[in-house]
Amino acid sequence: MKIVVLAGGISTERDVSLITGKMIYQALKGNGHAAVLLDVYLGYEGDDCNAIFEKEEDWSKAIGAISENNPDIAQIKALRPDGDKNFFGPNVIRICQEADIVFMALHGENGENGKIQAAFDLMGIRYTGTDYVSSALAMDKALTKELFLQNGVSTPQGTAVSKADIVKPCPIPFPCVVKTCCGGSSIGVYIVETQEAYVDAMKEAFSFGDQVIVEEYIKGREFSVGVIEGKALPIIEIAPLQGFYDYKNKYQAGSTIETCPADISEELTKKMQQAAEKAYEVLRMKTYARMDFMMRENGEMFCLEANTLPGMTPTSLIPQEAAAEGISFPELCEKLIRISMKKYE
């Protein structure tokens, strides 16, 4: 198949996306596909787009490791003087239209909020993952929380706040969590214990977007559950060596202990998997996604959020969960393509 692996972009998760794209690209090449790795924002400047899938080139060679720090988005935007006029880089749409399918390796706002999926639907471009509606629902954490609460998916109590609320008392008892509504990879997420820390966290969170939510802090163990075609994978437990599961602990090797299958009872395993499948259904997802959970000592569990394009980096969770079922990374990539193509039958 001719496959575009679409990565990069200008979200705060750009670096994560590039590593995800690199791993997927290398797996697809190893599987014998004619694959091209494209940065959705920077595009391709060559004049040989018609023959791009025949080029003998390693499209992943320039991509390095994930830094401990967020990427400098202003620096990336400076490479595209026309970036404010058209998000898609040179020749991206043209090359994607030539492909049999686009493997979505994007993360964060530019990729998981449904806008690219909607554009591709209008242009007849096939892509992996869920559709634009469920992407938009899951990207907005306040809307996700509202839907969970209305449909019986246990989730931490919380509320959306505006910039005007920065000077007001915190609406949730301390400790609490402040997070940007449309972020990812735990960027713009803060655990606060005082009003002063709350005000500082609010200011930081609003630097990532215009919407912020404040929710109760759940102390306990952290888990994640991948769902493919509505069926939950084995549960993985995430235990950071220091702090919580933030950007650094997610992507720096050795920062977190991950156990899959998670060491919990069969009863709790079944309950969490069912909750993940219910969350998948409530958000109207298709193909695959990943749900994040916290569980208290007494076994009470809460679904924090849903990820419509889960990471596929060296430390990512869904590949580990699939491996627990005997599915290798290259096999997982093929499976995600196969089930995504069903949307177009």
Q: How far is CA 284 from CA 138, 165, 229, 230, 271, in A?
A: 9, 32, 11, 10, 20
212 in the same domain as 229: no
98 in the same domain as 169: no
Q: Per-residue pLDDT for 177 more than 70?
A: yes
159: three-class secondary structure by DSSP: strand
336 in the same domain as 232: yes
pLDDT (tens digit, 9 = 90+) per residue, 9-21? Answer: 998 888 889 999 9
H helix or E strand, kind and range, residue 333: helix 329-341
Residue 156 domain flag: no
- Output the CA torsion sign for 160, 165, 167, 169: negative
pLDDT confidence of residue 168: 86
229 in the same domain as 180: no
Supply the pTM of this predicted model: 0.88
229 in the same domain as 321: yes
- Domain of 326: which CATH number? 3.30.470.20
Last residue of a domain, one of 216, 237, 259: 216
12 in the same domain as 44: yes
H helix or E strand, kind and range, residue 138: helix 132-139
pLDDT (tens digit, 9 = 90+) per residue, 83-116? Answer: 888 999 999 999 999 999 999 999 987 889 999 9
173 in the same domain as 233: no
Q: How far is CA 312 from CA 16, 137, 207, 244, in A?
A: 9, 22, 27, 20
- CA pair distance 329, 322, nearest whole angstrom: 8
For residue 202, give its domain range. Answer: 161-216
What is the β-pairing status of strands 158-161 and 189-192? unpaired
Q: Tell me the helices (H) and strands (E) count for the chain, helix number first.
A: 12, 13
**34 DSSP β-pair partners:** 2
Last residue of a domain, one of 127, 149, 175: 127
pLDDT category, 182, cuts 50, 70, 90? low
The winner for highest mean pLDDT among 25-29, 72-76, 157-161, 180-184 is 25-29
Q: Per-residue pLDDT for 287 more than 90?
A: yes
User: Per the structure, how many domains does the chain have?
Assistant: 3
